[in-house]
Amino acid sequence: MTRVDHRHRHLERIAEVRAGRVPEKVGYPIRVRETEVVRTTWIGGGLLRVTLGGPGTEGFEAHAPDEHVKLVFREPDGSLRLPEPNGAMLKWPRPAPTSREYTVRRYDPATGELDIDVAAHPGGLASDWALAAKPGAVVHVAGPPGGLIVPHAYDRYLLAGDITALPAMARWLEELPRDARGWVFAEVGDAGEEIGLSAPDGFEVHWLHRGDRPAGTGDLLAAAVTGVRVPAGERVYVWAAGEAGQLKPLRRWVREELGLDRADHDITGYWKVGVADFDEDD
């Protein structure tokens, strides 16, 4: 009997979805990996890039701009509790280990380097860890569990978010076709937090400065995004992420004003004011 190798079926499915018309989440085989810090680098004034490497990153997969991993940290008593392999998935201990979720900014299979961009803020577990991290420091990475594959068949793309969404938006812009068109709205504290973006020429990039207003407050982002007028007859895809409360007006806007189907937008709360380790899926 001939055995069929299904190990790379997800790669075939990703290619099929990318060439189609409708976005779809595609799962990847999940692993937990022991990695080590290679270096840290400031990206603008608000993002600290932690580059991870070592033998544990070999075979890592990166296929979608907003895919994520969990950084698993030691408990206050120094113990380390890790998920265990369970087929193509992971079985997580209960209660859940201390972890934080981050976008995969870049993976280079040639060097094995994995970049995670952390929004620096006082008192944040991962932020404090990143600020103190030295080359050789060990951290375990779980995932990614898969990603949302969005076809390159839309007339325009609208990307919006705060500084926590910048890594994904930057990757979006790098991976879209060079003839793609659309809009980017990025809310940051000031010009010092702006970063270089490799946007296709057909994109309008808008930096929104909140000034002294605390992150996660106000309607600056929502007001700017909802002022967009999509040309009649064009098909648009909307992706937005950031503070959960600030995204509520955008959810209403895509449904009631743009009339988008559920498949044509993805709006995700990455964090919530006053809530540690916020998870929108909980």
Per-residue pLDDT tens digits for 98-120: 999 999 999 999 999 999 999 99
More confident residue, 18 or 276: 18
What is the pLDDT averaged over residues 66-93? 94
pLDDT computed for residue 129 by the predictor: 97
Domain 26-147 and domain 154-271 have a common topology: no
pLDDT tens, 201-221? 999 999 999 999 999 999 999
What is the pLDDT averaged over residues 245-257? 97
pLDDT computed for residue 3 by the predictor: 42
Nearest-angstrom CA–CA distance, 164 and 271: 8
What is the pLDDT averaged over residues 248-261? 97
Does 167 have pLDDT greater than 80? yes
Does 146 have pLDDT greater than 80? yes
Residue ranges covered by each domain of the chain: 26-147, 154-271
| Mean pLDDT taken over the chain | 94
More confident residue, 278 or 89: 89
What is the pLDDT averaged over residues 249-277? 94
pLDDT classification of 174: cutoffs 50, 70, 90 = very high
What is the pLDDT averaged over residues 152-161? 98
pLDDT computed for residue 274 by the predictor: 81
pLDDT computed for residue 281 by the predictor: 60
Could you tell me the CA-to-CA distances from 18 to 63, 74, 125, 148, 184 in Å, in that order? 10, 38, 36, 10, 21
Could you tell me the CA-to-CA distances from 147 to 18, 68, 103 in Å, in that order? 12, 8, 11
pLDDT classification of 1: cutoffs 50, 70, 90 = very low
Percent of the chain with pLDDT over 70: 96
What is the pLDDT averaged over residues 157-180? 98
Nearest-angstrom CA–CA distance, 50 and 132: 11
* Cβ partners under 8 Å of residue 241, min gap 6: 66, 161, 164, 165, 168, 247, 267, 268, 269, 270
Does 5 have pLDDT greater than 60? no
pLDDT classification of 2: cutoffs 50, 70, 90 = very low
| CATH number of the domain located at residue range(s) 154-271 in this protein | 3.40.50.80
Could you tell me the CA-to-CA distances from 278 to 100, 129, 162, 192, 242 in Å, in that order? 9, 18, 16, 27, 11
Please state the pTM of the whole predicted model.
0.94
Rg, Å, the chain Cα set: 19
Would you say 194 and 187 are in contact if contact means Cβ atoms under 8 Å apart?
no
Does 150 have pLDDT greater than 60? yes
26-147: CATH topology is Elongation Factor Tu (Ef-tu); domain 3 (2.40.30)
What is the pLDDT averaged over residues 71-97? 94
